Each structure stands twice: as C-alpha cells, then as structure tokens.
Amino acid sequence: MSELTMVQAVNDGLRTIMTEDESVLVLGEDVGPKGGVFLATENLTAEFGEERCFDTPLSEDGIIGVGIGLAMNGMKPVCEIQFQDFIFPAFDQIVSEAAKMRYRSGGQYTVPMTIRTPYGGGIRGGLYHSQSGEAYFAHTAGLKVVIPSTPYDAKGLLIASIQDPDPVLFMEPKALYRAFREEVPEGMYTVDLSTVREVTQGGDCVVFCYGAMVPVCTEAAKRVKESRNKDVRVIDLRTLMPLDEESILQAVKDCGRAVVVHEAPRFCGYGAEISAMIAENVIEYVEAPVKRVAGFDTPFPNTLENYYMPDARRVLDAIEEVLDF
C-alpha cells in the first residue's frame, strides 16, 4: 500500500484501470501532457500515449458528445470537465442523450462513460469555480452520481464507475484533493456504487453527509462527544444515485434524530430528498424535526467562502438543536 492524497488516488485509479482495460481512455481540457489543472491525469499521456489520454478543445458539450459516441462504439471514455461550474453547456448531452440512451434504444445501446469533475469550495475560486450542482444530476433518471470523501474511496469508486455499463458523474470535492493522506491499495479494487460508509458510530443522532462535508461532520460529532457525552453516527452517502435507502432509514430508526449536511444551497438541495424519505418511511421513529445544514441560497461568494460553507460549528448547532428538542 501507499499513502496517497485524494487527487493522487484518482490518478492511480485511472492508471490502474487503463493498464487493465485498453478500451478506457481519457479526454478533456488540458488532461494530456499538462496533467490537468489539479494534476489528476499527470503522466498518463506519457505512459499510455496521445491516443488514450488527449486534450480537447474548450467545448464541454463537445467533450461529452464525443464521449457518448465513443461509449456507444465499444470504448469506456473518462471525460474530464475541468470544473463542475463549466458542465452546464453539456447539460443537454448528459441529461437528454447519455442518461436516456439505454431507454430510448430499448437496450440496444448503453453509454459506459464516466464524467470526472472537481466541485465545491475550498480553493477560494469564487462563483465560477466553487459551485455544487449535484442535485441537478441526481434528479436525472439513468445517471449515477458518485462523490468520494477519502483517497481509498476515490480510487475504488472511480474504478467501479468506469466499469459500470451506464453513465456516471464522478464528482470530486476539490477541498479534499490534498487535505490528507491515507493508505490506498495498489492494483485493482472497487467500492460498491450503492452503499453508504459509516464514519463514526453512535445512537443519539445521525448525520448524513458527503464529499468535503464528511470531515466537517466528523469534527462536529467529536465536539458533541466531548461537550455532552453524546454519540453521533456520521454516515457518508458516497453515491447520491443510486442511494442506499435501506441503510439511511435503518440509521434513523436506530438514532431517532437526524441532520443532513451539504455545501450546495439549501433550497431544493439534496438534503430535501433525504428529509422527505425519512418523513415518508420512518416518521414514527423520529423524535425531532430533521435539520438541514447547507450553503446559503445565494451565488457562491468571492470573499466569504468560510462563512458560506458549513463548518463544524454550524453542524454542532444543528445536532444540539435536535438533541434538545
């Protein structure tokens, strides 16, 4: 094993699957010799050649359109959108073409394409380099949405996404790219695309989160233990679609109190789906209203990033509110 950062784990995952499967190729803006803005594709062109890791024009709809065509003809393209904020010119290609192809063709065609894209705050990139648009895509039938929070999961989930026969949006929290290292196995392994990860154990409250919010919520759980001797269960969702509904509902049954955390704006955010699921299925087990902690309903700010993004204090306040209800 090697100790890797998340971005190094992404790079290792790409290298591993490209070595194992010659149908896998990488395309996107500056992914070639430069290795991408964050170096996630560093040295892949040198190792596998320009036919398997190559630069594209600055055209997101073109990148995804080419990826769809390659996928329908036997390849497994990994398309990089340099920042998730830039993905919207390709929205129609993703939602109307890639996600629907299996259905509109009656199963004659599939689109085994993975779209990698860094998302969220953490680099003081302002409103054009910091957005979290996962809810747009989780709403799209036929598309999987995956978000890792650790280097181990980043590699395993990425390989599983590339091997999946249908399109996957693989969103990488750039705030965690170089936040910490952990041991990552060498070679091939996968992490299931429909299971949550229990980060901390507890029965007094459960906190659902994903991406860069996982370490934030873990810190909040630690503070609750220190200040009130309450045990908070932190659940990393990992895949927003498909969602591990059974594990989510069981956690609510076990704990009776729930908080949902994401850095995207609160209104119509992904937390609303979790809240509705709880209300529809396990309301009789709930001892306090579900609390949501999220970004504010404004464009992502240029100068107030630390205030906009949920921190451990805001999560702690929400946990204490449901505990005191």
262 carries an active-site annotation = no
pLDDT tens-digit profile of 284-300?
Answer: 999 999 999 999 999 99
Q: Which residues of the chain have pLDDT under 50?
A: none
pLDDT tens-digit profile of 17-42?
Answer: 999 999 999 999 999 999 999 999 99
Can you give the pTM of this predicted structure?
0.96
Specify the pLDDT at position 258: 98
Q: Tokens representing 136?
A: 């747009």
CA atoms within 13 A on the CB side of 252: 27
Domains and CATH numbers, the chain: 2-184 (3.40.50.970), 197-324 (3.40.50.920)
For the chain, how are helix, strand and coil distributed in percent, rounded to 5?
40, 20, 40
C-alpha distances out from residue 12 to 37, 80, 188, 223, Å: 16, 16, 10, 34
pLDDT tens-digit profile of 79-113?
Answer: 999 999 999 999 999 999 999 999 999 999 999 99
Give me the catalytic one of 129, 155, 233, 262: 129
Strands, E, within 155-307: which ranges?
A: 168-173, 182-184, 197-200, 205-209, 232-236, 239-241, 258-265, 291-295
Round to the nearest angstrom and report the end-to-end CA distance of the chain. 46
3: burial class by Cβ within 10 Å (0-12, 13-18, 19+)?
Answer: exposed
